A and B are shown apart, each in its own frame.
Chain A
Amino acid sequence: MFSVIRNKKPKKSVNRDMLNKQRRYDSLVRALHGDLFRYAYWLCGDKHIAEDITQETFLRAWRSLESLKDDKAAKAWLITILRRENARRFERKQFDYSDVEQADIADHISSSSEENMEQHMLRRQIAKLEVEYREPLILQVIGGFSGEEIAGILDLNRNTVMTRLFRARNQLKEILDDTQTRGRSNG
């Protein structure tokens, strides 16, 4: 009889823990899957691979959700997992996506208006950026992370991060200005 009582309690709390974990996971997925997918996309340059990486990332996150103590740090935590997943992809199979990515990127998005044309062009240029420059820029612009946070995620020192952000913007701006002046003189 004692054992019945003793068994019952932990079981209930286990169920409650499971439920809490489930809720936590669900809200993480809802809030962050978009950013994570985009980050993956800009890392690998392919929507399908990005989807796979995102799925792997969230599965891994589910398995070790207990290790995430502070929900505010969830985004950085997930991005760290995602980057590791992406690196693992190269350990597993040495596919060379880089040739495909530049040609393919964003090509399926119809570019009717001028704004879309520009965006289309910008996407190609972002994809052409060295990944070392691209990553901090993405983290800053869509991740909303500060220099210190980016340094933490990428395991670099802050000055390096700032230099890379400077170069990334500098390169993109030059290309953009260049095409704009060329466009104007051509028109």
Chain B
Amino acid sequence: MDELKFRREAYENPHRQDEEFLGSMHESSERTAFVNDLKLLDKKLEAALKVEVPEDLEAKLLLNQQLHQHQVERRKTGFTLALVASIAFIASISFTLLRLAPVDLGQHALAHVYHEEMAMKSEQNISVDEVNTQLASLTSLNHAHFTEQPGRVLYSTYCDFQGVKSIHLVMQGRQGKVTLFIVPLEERMVLEEAFADNRYQGMGFKADNAYVLLVGEHATDLDYVRDEVKESFI
């Protein structure tokens, strides 16, 4: 190794351990002294570079991170809280608005029939007493009830008419089944005397304390059930 290369490598890193470098270092005592000189410089450099580290720096770094973490968590919970609050707010507003909107009973009745296909398949025999028990639980009906069995009742349940609890019955007509809704009187309800779509026909009338809606496939059935109900429902 020539002198220039040797010196260069020594300056680059006097602590090199590769054999070529060490070999040429041992070639002469001058070279060894030269490298030792540089090693001494490195020692001094190391000491000089090691400036004092502030004593509290470690604690500060740890604390800083804790505070940061704390803030992130607070921001997160704050955000979640705000999100939940605004969702609840929107929900309550829209719910109130929906409840105030006028309800087209006829369309709603049709939709309800389509929605509850199960009801049309029911073949139960429900007694007038059972229906009356359900009616009695609707306080807004003012004790409206059936005085006698209004023909065969195949299905009976509570249902929801745009937030108003109502009764959903399926009765046997002459030709087919007729769905009957008994809805407590409420101002925003809009009653249509007759309504229909491609499949079903419907009619509505107002009893003493309730709207009664009938939906069926045949007009004759509707008339038949209406007469039955008008006689027995007070």
Contacts and interface: CB of A to CB of B under 8 A. Distances in A.
Interface in A46-85: 47, 51, 54-55, 58-59, 62
A137 B108 CA distance: 83
Contacts of B38: 169, 173
Contacts of A166: 8, 11-12
A5 interface: no
Given A33-B58, A54-B61, 15 more contacts: A25-B65, A29-B65, A33-B53, A33-B61, A37-B53, A42-B51, A51-B54, A59-B64, A118-B44, A122-B48, A147-B13, A165-B12, A169-B38, A169-B41, A176-B44
Interface string B136-175: 0000000000000000000000000000000000000000
Contacts of B61: 29, 33, 54-55, 58
Interface in A156-187: 162, 165-166, 169-170, 172-173, 176
A51 B44 contact: no
Given A62-B65, A165-B13, A170-B11, A119 B58 contact: no
A102 B40 CA distance: 24
Interface residues of A, number: 38
A29 B50 contact: no
Majority secondary structure, B binding face: helix
Contacts of B41: 169, 172-173, 176
Q: Give the top 5 A-B pairs by smallest Cβ distance, nearest first.
A: A122-B48, A166-B11, A34-B53, A169-B11, A162-B12
A30 interface: yes
Contact of B54 (A47, A109, A123, A141): A47
B199 interface: no
